[in-house]
Amino acid sequence: MTCYAESSAVLAWLLGEARGGLVAALLGGADLVVTSELTLVEVDRALHRSVATGAMDASMAERLREQLGATTTEWAIEPVSAAVVDRARRSFPHDAIRALDAIHLATAVVIASSVGDLDVLSVDERVRMNAVALGLPVVPD
């Protein structure tokens, strides 16, 4: 399985949130994991925000960053390319999505056009609903 790891799923895994165990199993079982450089920004911002609000101490955030860094060395990190921006600016089946969600979906569409079968790994319902409507399978079930 080749999967696109969207930020909500990566954060669920990294922070041990609900469905995080399922996400970890899917990431571990994937032949190839692809994500956007946007995911790395969003995860880092979430960790910084957690420290700033007192929800997490700085040493825990640093350990999670190191864990993510070690894991993503085996992932394909896709840039926010002109093709991604072009697709993100267009309409989506369920257009009540934020700009960052549109970038994730556009990245998955662009990747799927070149690699073929691609599962979208997300726990965000708006992303999942749009991915299905775009013909992309979503995991976890």
pTM comes to 0.94
Q: Looking at residue 116, what is its pLDDT?
A: 85
Closest CA to 10 of 118, 104, 84: 104
pLDDT band at 91 (very low <50, low <70, confident <90, very high): very high
Long-range contacts of 64-67 (CB under 8 A, 24+ apart): 64/14, 64/15, 67/14
Q: Provide the 8-state DSSP code for 79.
A: P
Residues 99-134: tens digit of each pLDDT? 999 999 999 999 999 998 999 999 999 999 999 999
The pair of three-digit structure tokens given for residue 62, joined into one six-digit string: 């640093």
Q: Looking at residue 141, what is its pLDDT?
A: 84
How far is residue 104's CA from residue 80's CA, in Å, rounded to a whole number? 9
Closest CA to 39 of 101, 85, 82: 101
Contact residues for 42 (Cβ-Cβ < 8 A; gap 6+)? 7, 11, 100
Q: What is the CATH number of domain 2-139?
A: 3.40.50.1010
- Ordered by start, the domain boundaries in the chain are 2-139
